[in-house]
Amino acid sequence: MCGIVGAIAERNVSAILIEGLKRLEYRGYDSAGVAIYSQDGGLRRSRRIGKVAALEQALAEEPLAGRLGIAHTRWATHGVPSEANAHPHFSGSDLAVVHNGIIENHEQLREQLKALGYVFSSETDTETIVHLLHHKLQGLPELADALKAAVKELHGAYGLAVISAAQPDRILAARSGSPLVIGLGLGENFLASDPLALRQVTDRFVYLEEGDIAEIRQASLQIWDAEGRSVQRETVQFHEGAEAAEKGEYRHFMLKEIHEQPKVVQRTLEGRLGSDHALVQAFGPQAAELFARVRNVQIVACGTSYHAGMVARYWLEELTGIPCQVEVASEFRYRKVAVQPDSLFVTISQSGETADTLAALRNAKSAGYLASLAICNVGTSSLVRESDLTLLTQAGPEIGVASTKAFTTQLVGLLLLTLSLGRVRGTLATDVEAKLVEALRHLPGNLEEALAMDKTVERISVLFADKHHTLFLGRGAQYPVAMEGALKLKEISYIHAEAYPAGELKHGPLALVDSNMPVVTVAPNNELLEKLKSNLQEVRARGGELIVFADRTAAMDNGPGVHVVNMPPIHDLLAPILYTIPLQLLSYHVAVLKGTDVDQPRNLAKSVTVE
Ligand code: HGA
């Protein structure tokens, strides 16, 4: 995802903009640019493909200095990565725009603006915004008024910033579906798509809300809401410890990262949802064309990412009808694979450097797949660089070795892939899609509710502290969630944990069940619930102790040896994401009770760059 930085000050803002862009580099991008206004030189820009360092070098050779500027790192959705497509985009020589997101009606706007005489110099959707704004300025000379009129005609998602040589005392910003935050300084103000970009210049922030338009001047800030009413938004003071590389108020990175999930899931969705559908272009400029040809999906990953892939298989086959296979990379890479025609090869990795996954991708290149797609958290990684399409999860740096927020954001990315494939292939009913998109918008709130169960889960964790073996059960898409729950417990508490599809219990593992082997079950209220309840009876009949995470509407009762934890109701397809949270918390609390090294468990490494 791209990044935006803007600044208006008494001093030269060039270095502030570049530093801001560098701080956003981790989000992934393919090109970078800056536009600066100076009284003698007017509005000028510099743009480069590749790293921010290349832009910095260009500015060292040919400096741009001024007290007003906007800058951008681009991750192409419309038009290839090139200098001409890099932001800022200009209309004439007086107006510049940077934009994160996707303008869905760009083709229609482009035709209208061309008919009005505008000449386009890029292939981007973004360029339509700047010409449209220029056009509006003819009748509404105040930048804020023109922007209010222009955004009414934009469909899709945007976080954008505008500067004009005609009104060089202000930056205008607008947000709809893509985040923006204003940084408050003393006699200077800033703007960014992420506060991280501005931490070197301020610790006071004002978050724009959906539909907001802001006029940022050196010593003032004015905000209008979607209805055009002047509004005040709260100022948030950041404290030391809010940074990713610090634990802040949390005892461990893992706990901090578990609690970050509502925020990072929100971030992963931002700019990728239209009013009632997922935006296919979020996967890159060629996504729509390639997705239209997909008839099979092969997912390859390791560890936690493999579990995410297994959940995705249920989603893909149910919602798109496209057959999907999932395999661990260390196996896949060494066997002779029969490739189905028109197969999309999907890899999933937090770091994008996982050796087995990377090797599988490299082998796949010559195996006849239609295209490769990476779901990854690191934009600069090998996996991203070597894949045809990418969806970057926006989990931010994950420090705890046991993956938590990377997993849930991978699931969100895979659901967006499912929706996009279903949409392009015409296999997804529009009402199903709209309901799911609506449910996705509520997901961060649902995750908050699940996190509020922390104390209850902590109490339950006592049941595990002296145990050596546990069983995790689930059915359907909750089976891989049970696998992930078991993996978490193994990783950080060193308790042997195994996951089974609940229906398999009677085919073997039931022999192990006794009072020393707690059985953990995830039980959303779906059509498999009654079957699952029977499986639980099988456990109780053998004296096994049950811990059941159940939808509170499922009316499951506590009883001797049965501990029911009530979960908030949720759209069934999102249940795997929600039910992951208490299982993460459970492993965490068990590990704390056992006194293990939660963030750096023995024998494990964060990014597995060896075979
Ligand atoms: N659609 C714009 C901006 C892309 C973006 O936000 N990427 O994350 C473009 O393609 O330039």
* Whole-number average pLDDT of the chain: 92
The CB density around residue 292, as the number of other CB atoms within 10 Å, is: 12
Pocket lining: 106 vs ligand 1, CB cutoff 6 Å? no
- Say if residue 200 is in the same domain as residue 343: no
- Say if residue 278 is in the same domain as residue 347: yes
Instruction: Give the residue, out of 1, 2, 25, with the most ligand 1 atoms within 8 A of its beta carbon, to mutate for a pocket test.
Output: 2
- Token digits of residue 348: 């999933």
What is the Å distance from ligand 1's center to 175 Cα?
A: 14
Whether 162 shows a pLDDT value over 70: the answer reads yes
Q: Which of 203, 237, 271 is the last residue of a domain?
A: 237
- Say if residue 259 is in the same domain as residue 196: no
Q: Would 431 be classed as within a structural domain?
A: yes
Active-site choice (247, 435, 533, 606): 606
What is the Å distance from ligand 1's center to 102 Cα?
A: 6
Q: Would 245 be classed as within a structural domain?
A: no
Looking at the 3D structure of the chain, how many domains does it have? 2
Q: What is the CATH number of the domain that holds 52?
A: 3.60.20.10
The CB density around residue 256, as the number of other CB atoms within 10 Å, is: 21
2 is catalytic: yes
Whether 216 shows a pLDDT value over 90: the answer reads yes
- Residue 414 binned pLDDT confidence (cut-offs 50, 70, 90): very high
Pocket lining: 47 vs ligand 1, CB cutoff 6 Å? no
Pocket lining: 51 vs ligand 1, CB cutoff 6 Å? no
What is the Å distance from ligand 1's center to 89 Cα?
A: 12
Higher pLDDT, 553 or 82: 82
Of the listed ranges 209-218, 307-316, 395-404, 426-435, the one predicted with least confidence: 395-404
What is the Å distance from ligand 1's center to 79 Cα?
A: 9
- Say if residue 420 is in the same domain as residue 557: yes
8 Å CB contact between 403 and 387: no
- Residue 245 binned pLDDT confidence (cut-offs 50, 70, 90): low
Instruction: Give the residue, out of 4, 99, 178, 272, with the most ligand 1 atoms within 8 A of its beta carbon, to mutate for a pocket test.
Output: 99
What is the Å distance from ligand 1's center to 82 Cα?
A: 12
Pocket lining: 379 vs ligand 1, CB cutoff 6 Å? no
- Residue 423 binned pLDDT confidence (cut-offs 50, 70, 90): very high
- Residue 244: the pLDDT is 57
Pocket lining: 281 vs ligand 1, CB cutoff 6 Å? no
- Residue 509: the pLDDT is 83
- Say if residue 337 is in the same domain as residue 423: yes
- Could you give the CA distance from residue 611 to residue 596 in angstroms, rounded to a whole number? 26
Whether 608 shows a pLDDT value over 70: the answer reads no
3-state helix, strand, coil in the chain (%, to 5): 40, 25, 35
Whether 290 shows a pLDDT value over 90: the answer reads yes
Whether 607 shows a pLDDT value over 90: the answer reads no
- Say if residue 228 is in the same domain as residue 273: no
- Could you give the CA distance from residue 333 to residue 329 in angstroms, rounded to a whole number? 6
Mean pLDDT (whole number) for 334-351: 94
What is the Å distance from ligand 1's center to 74 Cα?
A: 6
Q: Would 492 be classed as within a structural domain?
A: yes
Q: Would 242 be classed as within a structural domain?
A: no
- Say if residue 355 is in the same domain as residue 406: yes
Q: Would 490 be classed as within a structural domain?
A: yes
Pocket lining: 86 vs ligand 1, CB cutoff 6 Å? no
- Say if residue 218 is in the same domain as residue 277: no
- Residue 1: the pLDDT is 57
Whether 465 shows a pLDDT value over 70: the answer reads yes
Q: Would 243 be classed as within a structural domain?
A: no
Whether 211 shows a pLDDT value over 70: the answer reads yes
- Residue 4 binned pLDDT confidence (cut-offs 50, 70, 90): very high
Q: Report the nearest atom of ligand 1 relative to the CA of 125.
A: 1
- Sheet order of strands, 171-176 included: 89-91, 95-103, 156-164, 171-176, 213-216, 221-224, 230-231
DSSP 223: E
- Say if residue 32 is in the same domain as residue 152: yes
Q: Report the nearest atom of ligand 1 relative to the CA of 100.
A: 6
Q: Which of 204, 237, 270 is the last residue of a domain?
A: 237
606 is catalytic: yes
What is the Å distance from ligand 1's center to 69 Cα?
A: 19
Whether 375 shows a pLDDT value over 80: the answer reads yes
Higher pLDDT, 382 or 420: 420
Q: Would 308 be classed as within a structural domain?
A: yes
8 Å CB contact between 434 and 277: yes
pLDDT tens digits, 74-117: 989 999 999 999 999 999 999 999 999 999 999 999 999 999 99
Which range marks the domain in which residue 117 is found?
A: 3-237
Instruction: Indicate the pTM of the whole model.
Output: 0.77
Q: Would 364 be classed as within a structural domain?
A: yes
- Say if residue 354 is in the same domain as residue 416: yes
Query: Looking at this protein, which amino acid is placed at residue 47?
Result: R
Q: Report the nearest atom of ligand 1 relative to the CA of 86.
A: 11
Instruction: Give the residue, out of 97, 124, 390, with the most ligand 1 atoms within 8 A of its beta carbon, to mutate for a pocket test.
Output: 124
- Residue 340: the pLDDT is 92
Pocket lining: 99 vs ligand 1, CB cutoff 6 Å? yes
DSSP string, 474-536: E-TTHHHHHHHHHHHHHHHH--EEEEEEGGGGGGTGGGG-STTS-EEEEE-SSTTHHHHHHHH
8 Å CB contact between 567 and 580: no
- Residue 609 binned pLDDT confidence (cut-offs 50, 70, 90): very low
Pocket lining: 307 vs ligand 1, CB cutoff 6 Å? no
- Could you give the CA distance from residue 222 to residue 5 in angstroms, rounded to a whole number? 18
Mean pLDDT (whole number) for 244-272: 89
Mean pLDDT (whole number) for 296-324: 97
8 Å CB contact between 419 and 412: no
- Say if residue 358 is in the same domain as residue 456: yes
DSSP 351: S
8 Å CB contact between 35 and 44: yes
Of 115, 381, 609, residue with least CA distance to 393 = 381
Q: Report the nearest atom of ligand 1 relative to the CA of 122.
A: 11
Count how many Cα atoms sit within 13 Å of the Cα of residue 567 in the half-sphere of its side chain.
28
Q: What is the CATH number of the domain that holds 326?
A: 3.40.50.10490
- Residue 241 binned pLDDT confidence (cut-offs 50, 70, 90): very low
Torsion angle (degrees, nearest 10) of CA 319, 378, 481, 543: 180
pLDDT tens digits, 184-204: 999 999 999 988 899 989 999
pLDDT more than 70, % of the chain:
97
- Say if residue 177 is in the same domain as residue 277: no
